[in-house]
Amino acid sequence: MGSRIASHSPLPTPHSLLTMADKLNLEVITPEKLALREQVDEVVVPGLGGELGILPDHTPLISQLKTGVLSYRQGGENKRMHVSGGFVEVASDRVSVLSDVAEKPEEIDVERAQRALDRAERRLASRGDDIDFNRAELKLQRAMIRIQLGGRG
Ligand code: ATP
């Protein structure tokens, strides 16, 4: 039984060692939870400088993320998530997203997002000295993405 393994297991050939990965292992992590762990064919993340598309065998990279939509493809199916801040690391077949927020469309409370949007708009419109502009702008961006993603039913 033991000899069967030793005598019949072919050693990897140089060709098979060079075979490219055809899937990506995507992980999305927030300070609160592991939001997603899936094998996927393609990922697009909202990089600070614009959308960043990642296919298997992508060059290793680290990029900061902005508030936006992360999308990923599994076969013919496309799925989307809201992410906000943090960064993405690509290393061999692994895509690790560490973000302040990660929500699937079905986890989003659209009415709550609408209230957050109204609050942020009122704050920004008031132009008071006591307004934390960056914070209000961030809340506004998140609320808009939540309404866009969660409102699709
Ligand atoms: P709110 O004022 O409604 O709390 P917020 O912009 O202050 O919104 P965040 O700081 O962005 O909220 O998020 C705090 C936590 O609440 C996160 O875990 C986030 O996923 C969750 N969250 C916020 N808004 C929603 C929403 N509309 N639907 C589902 N989860 C939400």
Q: What are the chain's domains? A: 21-106 (2.60.15.10), 108-150 (1.20.5.440)
Q: Is 117 in the pocket of ligand 1 (CB under 6 A)?
A: no
* Predicted pLDDT of residue 129: 78
Ligand 1, residues 82, 100, 109: which to mutate, most atoms within 8 A of Cβ?
109
> Residues of the chain whose pLDDT is less than 70?
1-20, 153
* Predicted pLDDT of residue 1: 42
* Predicted pLDDT of residue 20: 63
Q: Is 118 in the pocket of ligand 1 (CB under 6 A)?
A: no
* Predicted pLDDT of residue 19: 57
CA dihedral 5, 6, 8, 10 (to 10 degrees): 110
* Predicted pLDDT of residue 23: 95
**DSSP sequence for 88-146:** EEEETTEEEEE-SEEE-GGG--HHHHHHHHHHHHHHHHH--TT--HHHHHHHHHHHHHH
* Predicted pLDDT of residue 18: 54
* Predicted pLDDT of residue 106: 97
Determine which residue's CA is closest to atom 19 belonging to ligand 1.
101
* Predicted pLDDT of residue 151: 87
